[in-house]
Structure 1
Amino acid sequence: MRQGRSMDIKKIVGQMTLEQKADYLTGKDFWQTQEYAELGVPAMFLSDGPHGVRKQAAASDHLGLNVSIPATCFPTAATMANSWNEELGEKMGEALGEEARAQRVNVLLGPGLNMKRDPRCGRNFEYFSEDPYLAGKMAASYVRGIQKNGTSACIKHFAANDQEERRMASDSVVDERTLREIYLTAFEIAVKEGKTKSIMTSYNKVNGVYANENEHLLRDVLRGEWGYQGMVVSDWAGSYDRVAAVKAGSDLEMPACKYGAEDVVKAVNEGRLDVKYVDECVERLLKLNESTRIPEDAPTTFDIRLHNDIAKKCAEESIVLLKNDGVLPINSGVKVALIGDFAENPRYQGAGSSIVNPTVLSRFVDKLTKDNVRHAPENKNYKQGVGTVGETPIEVVETYVEDMIEYDLDAVGYAKGFDRYGKKSDKLIKKAVELAEKADVALLFLGLDEVSEAEGLDRENIKINQNQIDLFNAIKATGKKIVVVLSCGSAVELSRVDGCSALVYACLSGQACADAVLNVITGKVNPSGKLSETFPVSYEDCPTSNYFPGKKLTSEYREGPFIGYRYYEKVGKKVQFPFGFGLSYTKFSYSDLVITDGGVQFTIKNEGQVAGSEIAELYVGKAESALPRPAKELKGFKKVCLAAGGSKRVEIPFDDKTFRYFNVATGRFEVEGGKYDLYVCASSDDIRLSGSIEKLPTTDVMPYKKTELPSYYCGDVKNVSDEEFEKLIKRDIPSSEYPFYKKNRMVIDENCTVSDLRYSRRWIGRFFSWLIRFTIGFCRTFGMRTTANTLVMGVLHQPVRGMAKFGGMSRRQMEGLLMMFNGRFFKGFGRFLSKGKKA
């Protein structure tokens, strides 16, 4: 097909054979869709990219084990959510879309929209918030930006995928109201307001049915209620029953899986699947293909300097000042000591499939001690521009050395201070103390390392490594002022560093992290970020601490809607730093609240001597309610920039989500009648203005009885009984136990994980599982934590079917393995050795 000519989609579908249609619904290879040149249908390229394009040179490098083509590494979603700036999110998204197009990527796999249900989730750095409204608004802004030039965003992982442990085999057991209000609302906003063209399903089951074949999620809610008409794609190797998936409306299976297509053809021929479902999927894929078509003459370069500046602006607006005893901003001429491994090797992004190879990386030691910038990777230079499909990477981008920003600080030197992976070293601490004694202020760079929070596994705790705390205490003993710069992708316990003079939360700020943090520390930028998640005093305070992660076969969401600030406020639990909190170098006052049927209006004034930005947050509560409710919930926000002494009239409108709740009795969102309390806040626990409004009910049907759900009505949800949880979910709790037919023995099927093989009937399965677990333990014992984590994510928790879905063997060989695991060794061995088509 010539470029610029539109497709006759109905005609193309009519010309395709059933086999071609079925093939089109599965990948051509690891990253591309099928192509049919004779029909004018080119392949589409899909690539990871929540905070930067990760186009791999190796065709099957799903985990990002090798270097990808350089791209701008923007702040992660967890960081950007702290900016509360939708316009900036859209600008970042536009840059992402431009880079994707330059690299000939049609579909960018991001952003991630799962909730920060628990701070231990290893992938929290890739998600926006504990609050669905904030997450949805930020995601919608990303999507609008990404899709401005034709690239498709792909929001993920739909849905209730809020833990990494056993994510491919776990069943999320959650009541319908909590599912709709907490875990689907962000997706709904991104679909309706962002108009995303693509959605990726999650690996897990949701209430007993795998998400990728879940008709309730895909047909009833996504396409039915929300009116979504775009593409649905499986996560990689996340398609379980391909026929059921097609019927549910999941269009594309990735990566390439020939036997999935064969199953579809067979089901149609046998009358088990109506061909209309196949045609619908094909049509949606063709529509996406047409809308994301990249002209041959489209630019293959992007403005590296401009995009780095956007990354820096995003980081600056996302940095949260959590504490300041007057030491910040640091005045010119002050002697500072840079201490901590993260000053030299900054923690600026997450770990796993979202890893980006940055075009340039600014480091704190370079900015204050060497006056140069490290290039990625390993200071190698590249030619300007970005390669097209098939070109070798890195021949196509030349990173630049940005103009040095002058910082009027007297850096006395740098000391590593600690081993980033936790190994204790008195020698490193001693050198750091000696350096600190020469300075007026110690800039102490603390946080989590790359293997403590990563895709595929959850954190063991929410503590900072003890060797970092030992360093902090040693520096504190010198009497010097300490400014802690914290780098991590989710909440950590901070009580043990409470004695610092200032605490700057950088989160994971992308490739321009050093410039952004130093601009804030020196006062070139007034911090304006606010927390998008609560920092608890300790993990034991978390509402999910008794339920996370789910063990064995299920993950029970017994806490219901009470996650994050919704729980802490309901039960009056003290926190370290509340949701929506963040300091500035100036002060803001709120006044003159006016409430109308359409929203709230009020005035914000900058009472200080420097310009600054303030984020006003609107919360809604209902003290007298027939429903179990949080004390209040975020329903709107606005970020405004004010000159010193300036003021502005601010309006936050109501929308269709302001007063709604999901009624499980009527099966739809309703409004409870009565008085609603409105709070204009500087953070979730800092109410500046308040008022109320009356609303009429949309139904008299109330779905709950207070006597049946006492824990939920009072919010004390940490120890919900089986009986009460069953009342909430309105069914029996599914068993979390393995289906043993005798002690520690069960039938192994393709959906069992490698970890589950320890319960197989034959020794070969048990030995293989033991070998993997032994290797993981060996790697951890001898300091190879990255290798251990890769084995956990890529092997131990991988279902047996993944061996075929990822192309390692044919389905026939996989079936042979299952026979061997289940006691039919010789027959299975013969089947394994026989020839069969690769998946």
Structure 2
Amino acid sequence: MKKENAQGGISVEEKVSLLYGDGNWRIRGIPSLGLEPLTMRDGPLGLRMCNDANDWAKDKTEPTIGYPSPSLLACSFDPELLSEVGKAMGRDCREHGVDVLLSPGINIKRNPLCGRNFEYYSEDPYLAGKLSAAFIKGIQSQGVGACIKHFCCNSQEDYRMVNDSIVDERALHEIYLKPFEIAVKEAKPWLLMTSYNKINGTYASDSEYLLKDLLRGEWHYNGVVISDWGGTADYVKSHNRGLDVEMPCLIDRKEDLLKGLRWGKLDSYEVNQTAERVKTLLEKAKKGRLAHSDYDEGENRRIALEAAVKSMVLLKNEDKALPLKNFKDVAIIGELAKSLRISGGGSSRVNPSGEATFLLDDSMASCFAQGYALDGKANGETLKIEAVDLAAKKKKVILFLGLSEVKESEGYDRTSLSLPQDQLDLFDAIRQVTENIIVVLNVGAPVELPFADKAKAILLCYLPGQEGGEAIKRILLGEVSPSGKLSETWPLHLSDVPSFGFYPGTQTQSLYRESIYVGYRYYASCDKAVRFPFGYGLSYAKFKYGKLSLSEKAIADGESVKASIPVSNLSKIGSELVVELYATPLEPNVFKPKRTLIAFQKLFLAPGETKLFDFEIPFDAFAHYDVSSSRFDVEGGKYAIEAASSANDVESKACLKVVSDAEFASKRTQLPVYYAVPKGGFLQYDSEFERLLGHHVPFSRDPRSKPYTLHSTLGDIAETWIGRILIKKALGLEGANDEMFKRSILSLPIRNIVMNGYRQKTVLAILDMANGHPFKALMHLLFGVRRHDL
């Protein structure tokens, strides 16, 4: 050990102290090397500059710029724009003395009910990976580190800290790991954050396969791996298996970790490796602090505005209801018009430095009616009557509809895709006095739209950031043509979603029965009708697509093919346009989606202009994950290359022969449901799912029965005397009236009590008492952590 100290220049005590955080927001420095601690903050929707106590209330965070949500930014299909947003957030961080932004979140949108989907980019791994890589490069160009999260299969919020994602190897690698692989290889983020959940029986923070074999080995990642806040399942096992830093840490772990080294429980080699990686990270942060330059908040707000404008999606425009000439004879209705929602609940909530509203001046405010109360406290019938009266006096109505922050939040999932009934009733009431209704949707994720056929126009703004009001105005008035495209499918009904009926699963397990058929991969493969398909979005301009051409008729390993398609703007309106490129296998032996996004490009076309959209298709664009060889491989054969305006709208296509020596036998007889994808989803196909997994679904015992473990939740021990005391104390904390807090507290694992400052020996004693072992509890309180506890 002393030899290692001499070689590394860092004492054993310093090395061990790098394995756990310094409070909520810091990684410890190395005083002997003159390296200061590193400061982190949350940031998917902008820098959340909270205090050290990590209060989530807006009034306890410093005002910072609120940017459009990732759910909106992804609709831009514009890596350059994402890079600019990343640069702006990096400058915000540098201005506030923050070294690392805990962003982006690049989990796949497996189901629209996920409470945190507004923080994520897409249901498509390629799109999510490319956009996140651009965003990361932007942040890190400012000398600020990015931290990608949550690695991986964190597709739900309900019981996220104890749930086991049971997923087959193909889906794991092709869908859920792919965006992380793209981001790691292309952008080299300074940090990576593990998820709370298990993946196929092993917690992400404990997974030697994910953290060492895959991340370090195959992807050659040399950054720092940290846990999510309270997401370390076993703080010794995790460090041995590839986790660098446990976050946060409100207790001093040094004594217990030094014991682990002495007893041979903690691997000294891994400790040394972590010390080197953290040292490199601290050196990057030190260099980054020197990059400080004059801060221009106005420029960053301009970027937030531009990002919102370029990302909003026009979903419907019947009879050219848009653009409007002005707002003179227009009623503006809906509480969300006055107070635009720009974030969901949880750790991403920003205290915006500017007011987010569509009522930008007195003239707009004078033609406004609230219509409904998001909190349900006001007299809804009175508000509806006032709104209908106003609508009857105007030629057109702009109706803002959406969800409250409490409906979309970290910590729990939605239970419905429905908008509030009072908003649906309001639409119907207004429809009785006018047909000219323009709906603006202010939501974080898809909702059912039973009124879609009755509205004249629908503009989707998702969560548009603090400049969202101005962005909406510019699009409604035609100052800018909308150019956003949906980065996720909007289904007709919740029952249409491929994971319907088994999402989010039980407390202990979530079965990914749908495998690779997530989002449009499912809907296209079974020709299932949707409300709006992936990649869909209208423009005020009119475009004409030419013929898609390929530079070669065939492609082999190591080669690439260029695809080109001319597009003409036939209108008098300049507009940006996204062209999407998909690959469709024509005669595969391996089951595959009907259509897979392999490239996209966004260009501006002036009135009357024709431009050539060029794409380069690499050989590995046709790869699938081969379970038998544990690697990506390419199946040869004919593919249709399709230029499209959405996943359902192919504008032109060409045939390409893919040449490969690899041979794959069909498994159609063993896995028929994955070849002939059922329109009714995958709920009834357990036996085929197990054949796909290669084993039976693991048995899951009742978590409420003894013996309890450190992974048991407070809800599991709620009937024990110590459980009742802990729950009562937790619900008495400041902020317990928050819906997220209430719904999350019962799913909190016993191990996470350390986040409230309890020593590890106290946590072990609590577990002993829950299991009915008071003497063991006393021993832990008296003598602390023992050898068998590590």
TM-score range, shorter chain: over 0.9
1:678 is matched with 641
Query: C-alpha distance in 2, partners of 1:727/1:296?
Result: 53
State the partner residue of 1:745: 705
Equivalent residue number for residue 721 of structure 1: 685
Range with bigger deviation, 211-220 or 593-602: 593-602
User: What is the CA distance between 1:809 and its match in structure 2?
Assistant: 1.4
After TM superposition, the structure 1 = structure 2 runs for residues 421-500 of structure 1, keeping only pairs within 5 Å, are: 421-422=375-376, 425-500=380-455
State the Cα distance separating 1:332 from its structure 2 match.
Answer: 3.0
1:364-415 CA distance string (max 9 Å, x none): 12x1436xxxxxxxxxxxxxxxxxxxxxxxxxxxxxxxxxxxxxxx775211
Deviations 1:565-595 (A, max 9, x none): 1111111111000110000001111113211
Measured in 1, the distance between the counterparts of 2:200 and 2:254 equals 27
1:508-657 paired onto structure 2 within 5 Å: 508-596=463-551, 597-655=560-618, 657=620
Cα deviations across residues 497-518 of structure 1 (Å, max 9, x unaligned)? 4311110000001010000001
User: Could you tell me which residue of structure 2 aligns to residue 161 of structure 1?
Assistant: 154
Amino acid at match of 2:180: F
How is 1:697-712 mapped onto 2 (pairs within 5 angstroms)?
697-702=660-665, 705-712=667-674
Amino acid at match of 1:791: K
The secondary structure found in structure 1 opposite 2:295 is: coil
Change (3 A) 1:639 1:144: same
**8 A contact 1:492–1:535 mirrored in 2:** yes
Count of equivalent residues: 772
Higher mean alpha-carbon deviation, 333-342 vs 97-106, is at 333-342
Q: Secondary structure at 2:546's aligned position in 1? A: strand
In 1, distance between residues paired with 2:376 and 2:676? 40
Q: 2:753 matched to 1:798? A: no
Correspondence for 1:275: 268
C-alpha contact (below 8 Å) 1:12/1:39 kept by paired residues: no
8 A contact 1:417–1:428 mirrored in 2: yes
SS at match of 1:20: helix
Contact 1:484 / 1:502 at 8 angstroms: preserved in 2? yes
Q: Can you give the 5+ residue segments of structure 2 that lack an aligned partner in the other structure? A: 552-559
Q: Secondary structure at the match of 1:101?
A: helix
2:376 is equivalent to residue 419 of structure 1: no
Q: Which amino acid aligns with 1:50?
A: P
Change (3 A) 1:426 1:64: closer
Which one of the candidate residues 290, 303, 307 is aligned to 2:283? 290
d(CA) in 1 for partners of 2:352, 2:185: 32
> Could you tell me how far 1:66 is from its partner in structure 2?
4.9
**Alignment partner of 1:89 is 2:82:** yes
Q: CA deviation at 1:96?
A: 0.7
Aligned pairs (5 A) from 1:52-71: 52-57=46-51, 59-61=52-54, 63=56, 66-71=59-64
Asked if residue 235 in structure 1 is aligned to residue 228 in structure 2, the reply is yes
- Looking at structure 2, the residues matched to 139 and 297 of structure 1 have their Cα atoms a distance apart, in angstroms, of 25
Give 1:295 shift: 6.6
2:77/2:485 contact within 8 Å kept: yes
What whole-Å deviation, never above 9, does each CA across 1:145-191 have from its counterpart, x for those lacking one? Answer: 00002111001000000000000001110011100000011111111
CA-to-aligned-CA distance 1:30-53 (integer Å, 9 cap, x gap): 111112323212100011111211
Write the distance in 2 (CA, Å) between the matches of 1:196 and 1:723. Answer: 40
What is aligned with 1:7? none
Distance across 2 between alignment mates of 1:268 and 1:835? 16
Q: Aligned pair 1:812/2:767, yes or no?
A: no
Deviations 1:298-338 (A, max 9, x none): 54862111111100000001110000111110113641111
Are the counterparts in 2 of residues 674 and 694 from structure 1 also a CA contact under 8 Å?
Answer: yes
Alpha-carbon distance in 2 for matches of 1:63, 1:625: 50
What SS does the aligned partner of 2:240 have?
helix
> Tell me, what secondary structure is at the counterpart of 1:432?
helix
- 186, 196, 209: which one pairs with 1:193? 186
1:341 correspondence with 2:303: no
Q: Matched residues in 2 for 1:317 and 1:757: separation?
A: 50
Aligned in 2, Cα 1:827/1:158: closer, same or farther, shift over 3 Å?
closer
Corresponding residue SS for 1:638: strand
Offset, 1:767:
6.7
**Per-residue deviation, residues 402-442 of structure 1 (Å, max 9, x unmatched):** xxxxxxxx775211101113567111100001111121111
- The amino acid across from 1:168 in the alignment is M
Aligned with residue 723 of structure 2, among 755, 762, 765: 765
Provide the rounded CA distance (Å) in 2 between the counterparts of 1:81 and 1:246.
34
Distance in 2, Cα, partners of 1:290 & 1:11 = 19
Q: Does 1:693 align with 2:687?
A: no
Cα drift, residue 65 of structure 1: 6.2
Q: Secondary structure at the match of 1:527?
A: coil
Q: Which residue of 1 aligns with 2:173?
A: 180
* Identical-residue share of aligned pairs (%): 38
What amino acid is the match of 2:117?
A: N
* Conserved 8 A contact 1:813-1:834: no
| Partner Cα distance (1:145, 1:695) in 2 | 35
Offset, 1:640: 0.8
Q: 1:678 is paired with a residue of what secondary structure?
A: strand
Q: Does 1:787 align with 2:738?
A: yes
User: Which blocks of at least 5 consecutive residues in structure 1 are unaligned?
Assistant: 1-9, 371-409
Q: Which one-letter code corresponds to 2:698 in the other structure?
A: P
CA distance in 2, matches of 1:19, 1:583: 60
Deviations 1:77-103, CA, capped at 9 Å, x for gaps: 101000111100000000111111111
Task: Tell me if the contact between 1:324 and 1:503 (Cα under 8 Å) persists in the aligned partners.
Answer: yes
Q: Distance in 2 between matches of 1:835 and 1:241?
A: 17
Q: Which residue of 2 aligns with 1:393?
A: none
| Offset from partner CA, 1:279-306 (integer Å, 9 cap, x none) | 1111111111111215766548621111
**1:66/1:479 CA distance change after superposition, 3 Å:** closer
What is the deviation of 1:341?
A: 0.6
Distance 1:832 1:99, change over 3 A: same
The SS at the match of 1:801 is helix
What is the alpha-carbon distance in structure 1 between the residues aligned to residue 342 and residue 699 of structure 2?
41
How far residue 768 of structure 1 moved from its aligned partner, in angstroms, is 5.2
User: CA separation in 2, counterparts of 1:332 and 1:217?
Assistant: 55
Q: 1:692-737: CA deviations, max 9, x gaps?
A: 11112242244x6211111111122422433211111112211233
Letter of the 1:816 counterpart: A
Question: Cα–Cα, structure 1 residues 830 and 65, in superposed 2: closer, same or farther, change >3 Å?
Answer: farther
2:362 aligns to what? Answer: 369
Aligned pair 1:756/2:716, yes or no? yes
Where 1:292 maps in the other structure, the secondary structure is helix
Quick one: structure 1 residues 485 and 555, their matched pair in 2 at CA, closer, same or farther if it must change by over 3 Å?
same
Q: 1:297 and 1:195 mapped to 2: Cα distance?
A: 21
Query: In the alignment, is the contact (CA less than 8 A) between 2:164 and 2:508 conserved in 1?
Result: yes
| Distance in 1, Cα, partners of 2:486 & 2:143 | 32
The 3-state SS of whatever aligns with 1:149 is coil
Q: Which residue number in structure 2 is paired with residue 129 of structure 1? A: 122
> What's the offset of the Cα at 1:244?
2.0
How has the CA–CA distance of structure 1 residues 32 and 768 changed in structure 2, closer, same or farther, with 3 Å as cutoff?
closer
